[in-house]
Chains A and B, each alone.
Chain A
Amino acid sequence: MKLFKEFEDKLPENILEEVKANLPDKCSESRTRKILEAVYKEYKSSVADPGENVGLVGAESIGEPGTQMTLNTFHFAGVSEMNVTTGLPRLIEILDARKTIKTEITEIFLKKPYNEGKDIKEIAESLKETLFRSFLKEISINIASLQMTIELDEQKIKNAKLTPIKITKILEKSVKSFKFQLEKDKPIINVKSSSKDIALNEIYKLKESIKDIFVTGIKGIKQVLPVKRGSEFMIVTAGTNLKEILKLDFIDTCRTTSNNLYEIEKLFGIEAVRQAIMNEVMKVLDAQGIDIDMRHIMLVSDTMCMSGRLLGINRYGIVKEKPSVLARASFETPIKHIINASLRGEVDSLNSVIENVMLNQPIPVGTGLPGLVTKVK
């Protein structure tokens, strides 16, 4: 198509593709040109004008509906223990780029036979972090012989597709100073110290610490929930460990993701975080039924990722990165900023809004942006 070539410089590729796909079957050249010209006109009028204060308009556009958001957590139907922070607390969490978030969630998509529901329950269970305490029936300590006997729950071991021998080996691996011996045909482990002189309270300490030994599953996955979304089965988990989950072979690695931004930054890089922020914010806003133009959120996301690291919109994040001393000082703890700036001999070139408001100069935005250049000589 020659026509489309002509508009290649004027319109972005994806818009051209969209026009191409939606053209009527028999479309004359002159009509196509008219369509493309109309699209171009529309496109040009949607572009932000030079000097438009997109940041502040974005802040107002997100901030105003934000006042209407409710402070509630959303419960998964049927499972009362698993809830997700949504609404304003979650929004603050995302935009602040909090290191620890209230509820970590991983959405695991599965490969072909499994996403139709094959062994979904077993797969889900196998992901769950299981500690030694869940296989215990009883622990008793013989004070005279300084021995400990552990009685295992055979049924539970069977359910987890393990054997008492395997569990004993795991225990041996993680506790070096004690010897573990499995009794024959009985799910009972005798625990003895490897050295002879040993204090009684060390056995008591072991009795507590042994319960938290990791046995099977994936570390960090506290709860699992198989759900059906549309026609597809998937697993939602509380707690994340994407690095380990992605190693599993039955998982669709292309779509599986978590809501922990720092984890995404570490595993996939800053571009992925940029997208993740947008997705997470949109998820919150959609749940609240709030309609905010995507581009405002894109701008926020860009700002947070601009430096190559994930930065929150707060004193420790992007405000710290502001080049202007006066802008930083006007936000919080002014004396600290001024004194540090004077130690470094910082120069404020008055490029942004707040500094110019302080000095009562025209702000370099909108009508204050253009300047008249004349030659004097």
Chain B
Amino acid sequence: MTDVFVNNKFSGTINDPKEFVERIISERRMGKLPISANVTYFEDLNEVHVETCSGRAIRPLIVVKDGKSTLTDKYIEQLEKNEITWSDLLKQGVIEYLDTLEEESTLVAFREEDLTAEHTHLEIAPITIFGLATSLVPFGNFNHGVRLNQGSKNQKQAIGFYVSNFFTRLDMDVNLLHYPQRPIAETIMHSTLEFNKHPTGQNVVVAIMSYQGYNMEDAIVINKGSIDRGLARSTYYRPVISEELRYSGGLIDEIGIPDKEVKGYRSEHDYRYLEEDGIIFPEAKVTEGDVIIGKTSPPRFLSSMDEYNLTTSSRRESSMVLKHGEIGVVDFVVVTENSEGNKLIQVRLRDNRIPEIGDKFTSRHGQKGVISYVVPEQDVPFTADGIKPDIIFSPHGIPSRMTVSHLIELIGGKVGALSGRYIDGTIFDSEKEEDLRQELLKLGFRENGTEVLYNGITGEQYPVQIFIGDMYYLKLKHMVANKIHSRARGPIQLLTRQPTEGRAKEGGLRLGEMEKDTFVAHGASLLLKERFDSDKTIVPVCENCGIIAVYDGRKERSFCPICGDEVEISNVEVSYAFKLMLDEFKSLLVYPKLVLEGKY
């Protein structure tokens, strides 16, 4: 007796589990059961599990019968003539989907040549064991698996040509690469995905050498001449959206240039780009503090006085303003309505991004790095033919990470660029390294890809040959222009009077608990005090009752709210956060009494 579980619920027993499993599989192949139904027999537990629920990862495999693939030449011919489709193969039981459980009871052959009588399934192609992004890594089967994962992760962050209709779209936070290229070293997935319709990088000449120590620790050195010719330029699009919201009581936002009486009016200079309708005109160059869409809103809280006095003066200013550190050019303005019928303004800003120190780049093999130096073109090393590398990559990144595919792509790219063809780098089925080397030799280069290079500064020949070739490089969306931040003084929070947090709010950088400990450990007591001075205040304290007194600006003296002004009141320097804490104690009905001592 074997227990049968359907979707992990016990549903009965059977006598011959093996026959039962076989029948379910054969009925599924005949199309009597859904293709996503999977069945497994656990011999050690003596249980049969049937799974039909959603949320399982399933993958297609070719069914093998008696050591022979059921996907015969006849089917392939029909497929080539477009007479049958994928679903026909599924219906005829040539291909079936397996989940991870049923896969345990199978023996899958990697290639058709490997098939034996014991095999139950055959991979459609070796590359199908990888995911979509991973199979885009050329020569990936020469790599460590970890690097393959990192390489595919990096590719997802690459700037490219993500859609063709970007002109008419208003996407949030989008980058667009100028002059994207189809990679020279491709895999079969590039053509399957029509990668050349939305490429993500550019083919560049890479020399693997060090350059005055600038490319240590994964940094890359880039040729200024290449940047000037347009390498890795991109556009950053950022939308500014505002709508006329409706409030209770028939009140409504108003898009337009705000009146000078409006609460919170900015300077006239800030509104200078707005046209009569209160919206900025296209091609206006804007920087932080500039108003993009002028808007006023009704007052937040109507006091009894204001209700009789609904003039413009009670409205408040709520324009869309460019935040700290943001610059751009107005690219595109849309005036429309949202689904509720409110007026909706969408403005798209564009910012041209030229590669600069700190921008992140990567090859497709998990070899990411940031630009550390932009070399003037005349200082870039050159080959005997006068070829100058676009990017100089450090050799120290190679041995410990063992990204062999990085090196093979370099040779492959070189061959492809010289002979004017695309190189097939499909994982497990790529062109052979030996063939590529021989082809390179025939093209008049050293077969190992190295060349004699000359120092661009002195003109001297380098004592060693340098490995140089072509590679596909990707610019990643992490650019310094979006991240660079510093602050000497700036805005503070209303409640605590401590600096705001975050780049967008021009915030300070937190000196945390553990950082504080380092000051304490060094005994740097006064330095620590100075670092935490950002919210210091001077408060008057009543020496009689120990409560914080009130300063009367008109009389220019302090008085105690409890004891009056006939007591001694001293000024004490504390952090504002402490004063706030004392106030919170009072709200807990705890009386915090300050006992002052030792003025001298």
Q: A residues near B, CB below 8 A?
A: 51-53, 56-57, 59-60, 335, 338-339, 342, 347, 353, 357-369, 374, 376
Contacts and interface: CB of A to CB of B under 8 A. Distances in A.
A360 B525 contact: no
Contacts of B535: 360
Contact of A362 (B525, B574, B575): B525
A368 B574 contact: no
Contact of B520 (A335, A347, A353, A369): A353
Contact of B522 (A335, A360, A364, A366): A366
B523 A53 contact: yes
Given A339-B590, A342-B591, A374-B600, A362 B526 contact: yes
Contacts of B600: 374, 376
B166 interface: no
B593 to A, nearest CB: 9
A53 B516 CA distance: 13
Interface string B479-504: 00000000000000000000000000
Contact of A360 (B516, B524, B533): B533
- Which 10 residue pairs of A and B lie closest in terms of their CB atoms, listed nearest first? A366-B523, A368-B525, A360-B575, A342-B590, A367-B525, A363-B525, A362-B525, A366-B525, A56-B521, A359-B578
Interface in B497-517: 516-517
Given A359-B578, A360-B573, A360-B578, 8 more contacts: A57-B521, A59-B517, A60-B517, A338-B590, A358-B578, A360-B535, A362-B529, A366-B524
Contacts of B574: 359-361
A56 B528 contact: no
Contacts of A366: 520, 522-525
B585 interface: yes
Interface string B513-556: 00011001111111011001101100000000000000000000
A360 B591 contact: no
B520 A363 contact: yes
Nearest to A375: B600
Contact of A361 (B517, B521, B524, B529): B529
A367 B573 contact: no
A374 B590 CA distance: 37
Interface in B158-200: none
B294 to A, nearest CB: 42
B585 A338 contact: yes
13 contacts: A53-B523, A57-B521, A60-B517, A358-B577, A360-B575, A360-B578, A362-B526, A362-B529, A363-B529, A364-B525, A366-B523, A366-B524, A366-B525
B588 interface: yes
Nearest to A54: B521
B14 interface: no
Given A357-B532, A360-B529, A360-B536, A365 B588 contact: no
A350 to B, nearest CB: 10
B252 interface: no
Query: Chain B: interface residue count, which band?
Result: 20 to 34
A338 B590 CA distance: 8
B517 to A, nearest CB: 6
Contacts of B585: 338, 342
Contacts of B526: 362, 367-368
Interface in B579-600: 581, 585, 588, 590-591, 595, 600
Contacts of B533: 360
A369 B516 contact: no
A89 B351 CA distance: 54
Given A360-B532, A360-B574, A52 B588 contact: no
Contacts of B532: 357, 360
A272 B577 CA distance: 45
B595 A347 contact: yes
Contacts of A364: 525
Nearest to B514: A60
Nearest to B516: A357
Contacts of B590: 338-339, 342
Nearest to A347: B595
Nearest to A52: B523
B575 A358 contact: yes
Contact of A53 (B520, B578, B581, B595): B520
Contacts of A57: 521
Given A339-B588, A358-B575, A358-B577, A56 B520 contact: yes
Contacts of A59: 517
Given A338-B590, A368-B525, A359 B520 contact: no
A343 to B, nearest CB: 9
A375 to B, nearest CB: 9
Contacts of B523: 51-53, 365-369
Interface in B459-489: none
A376 B383 CA distance: 81
A47 to B, nearest CB: 15
Interface string B560-574: 000000000000011
A363 B532 CA distance: 12
B479 to A, nearest CB: 33
B529 A53 contact: no
Residue among A53, A60, A366 facing the most chain B CB atoms (10 A cut-off): A366
A335 B521 contact: no
A355 to B, nearest CB: 10
A52 B523 CA distance: 6
Contacts of B516: 357
